[in-house]
Every structure is written in structure tokens, then in C-alpha cells.
Amino acid sequence: MTAKVMAFGEALIDFLSNGAVAPGETETFTKFPGGAPANVAVAVARLGGDSHFAGQVGDDAFGHFLKSSLEGYGVKTDSMLLTKAAKTALAFVSLDQTGERSFEFYRNPSADMLFRREDFQSEWFYAPQGVFHTCSNTLTDEHIAGATQMGIAMAKQASWIVSVDVNLRINLWPDHKVNVERVIDWMQSADVVKASLEELSVLSADPLALIQESLAEGVSLFILTDGGNPVRFFTTAGEGQVVAPKVEVKDTTAAGDAFVGGLLYQLAEQGGTRAALEQFEQHELEQIIRFAVACGADSVTKLGAYPSLPTLEDAQRRLASFS
């Protein structure tokens, strides 16, 4: 039985730049469905997993567009709420000539931030195996942070794997000041953590020491990315790394989410419980992460968020290019 994957957090509209940078050219933006947890949910669904999105959007044109977009890609939306109390969040994404992104968010407050602890339903966690995934964007306000903690607690009670992607967006935090203690506490409540070296450097003067501290606090698998450098992974038994294949980069918007989707798909397919996660050998984890890296590498060769996420066939084809 395939384990359920539930990604919790923001679904929003990505207005993606045409990349115009020459003097006299006009930068234009095209509407795409986005939001890191929503992207992860689509990534899992595209691979063939049992994917669910939990969160809230506005009961407005953008919110209905996001809901239908998720469903169109095979994501189940039974745990997706709509509200008239706030509008759906927007993000304007500009790209430089290398495909790297900069963000401007319209989100304070937006519908996703009004999700509360009591909005989580116990029946969402009835499946005997599952993976519950969150990102740090649901920590920027104490109320949505409390809801995130509730979701994690309910997932743990169900013996699901808890996954987090640090995915730090500093400009979403009040006065651009990250609540470091809140982020670290949340990160160390997980079983699986994915973070970039740049993000950990915001949280600690010694990122590698923070990784070891997190493993001592109960994290089973800590994955560290660093741009185009090899992906490193750490467990209490040791560490390893996976080198990404060289690809032509068109858009990095969904790269991290494609990676996480591939990772969660594999964890769900191979157990979907904390007990199963703890039994993986290092070589098995390496194969799981190689698959995730292949998903991320494939996504950057295409434009947009959802449209760039690979199918299982895409991922397997990209995986074959490693050798």
C-alpha cells in the first residue's frame, strides 16, 4: 500500500517574469500556480504518489484557480480550505540571465496565514502510513506557526514521517528578521530535514555543528544542498553525497520542490513510517537521494513551477544520465 503524502502550507500565484533586462525592454509576468508545499504536492502526484495538499486559499478567482490546478495535476484537495477572510497570496518572481530568482511577496495577511490549529482534522491522519511535510513559510506568524506545530504533533501521533524543507524566505519575516529559535525548534522536531548551506548559515555560525545537534535531537536524515555542489546527507551512522548531473538551466523556480517531491515519493513508496525510515542503510538512502537529485535536475530544464515537475519516466530518464 502506497503511503499518503500530505504537504501543508501556502498555495499561491507565481507571476513569473519574462526575464527582460535590456534597456528599453518591458518586463512582463505570466500567471502560474505555485507555493513551495503545493509544488511538492504536485511533484509527488506527477511521480504517481498518493498526494494531498493541506492549507488555505482565498475564496476568490486565484484560490479557485489554484484548487483546480492542483486537482488537474492529480493532487487530492480534501484538506484544502477556502476563506473569504483574506485574499490568495501572490508572488512576483524575477529571473536573472542564469535563471536565478528574486521574489516579491503579497501575503500579509493572506488566506494561507489564517489557517489555525483547529482547522486540522484528525481524519486527515487516519492512513496507517504517511509523510507530513512543511516549509518555514508557515512559521513567520505565531498563529500559523502554532498550526504547523499541531500538524506535526498529529502526524507523529499517527507514526508518520515528518519532513521539513527549511526553504528560508527572509523577506516574508516581520522586518526581515528570522525567528531563529522558532525555526530550529521546528526543524529539530522533524524526522527528515532538507536545507541549503546558505539557509543554515542564517541559523548558525557553524552549520555542520547545527546538523550534528539536530541528529542528536532526533532527526533521522539531514540533507544539505549547496547550489551545484554535491548534495550531502547525514545520519547518526555517517554521511554521504550525491553529485548532480550537468543540465542546461532554464528556470530554477521549482528545483528544490522537485527534489523534495522526489524524496517524499521515495520515502512513501518504501514504507511511510518513522520505523521504516530508521531501518534504511546508507546505500539505500543514497539511492533515494539520487532519485530526488534527478527530479530536481530535470525540473530546471523547463519553465514554470507545476509544468516543470517531472513524471516518473522523466525522473528515471534523468537518473540514467548519472552514469
pLDDT value at residue 98 = 66
What are the extents of the domains in the chain?
A: 4-320
Query: CB-based contacts of 224: which residues, under 8 Å, 6+ apart?
Result: 195, 196, 197, 200, 207, 211, 231, 232, 233, 234
Q: Which CATH number fits domain 4-320: 3.20.20.220, 2.120.10.30, 3.40.1190.20, 3.40.30.10?
A: 3.40.1190.20
- Cα–Cα distance measured from residue 38 to residue 302, given in angstroms and rounded to the nearest whole number: 18
Residues in the chain with pLDDT < 50?
A: none
Instruction: Give tens-digit pLDDT for 21-66.
Output: 677 788 888 888 989 999 999 999 999 999 999 999 999 999 999 9
pLDDT value at residue 91 = 87
pLDDT value at residue 99 = 60
- pTM exceeds 0.75: yes
pLDDT value at residue 254 = 84
Q: Nearest-5° angle of CA 276, CA 122, CA 36?
A: 70
pLDDT value at residue 219 = 98
pLDDT value at residue 309 = 94
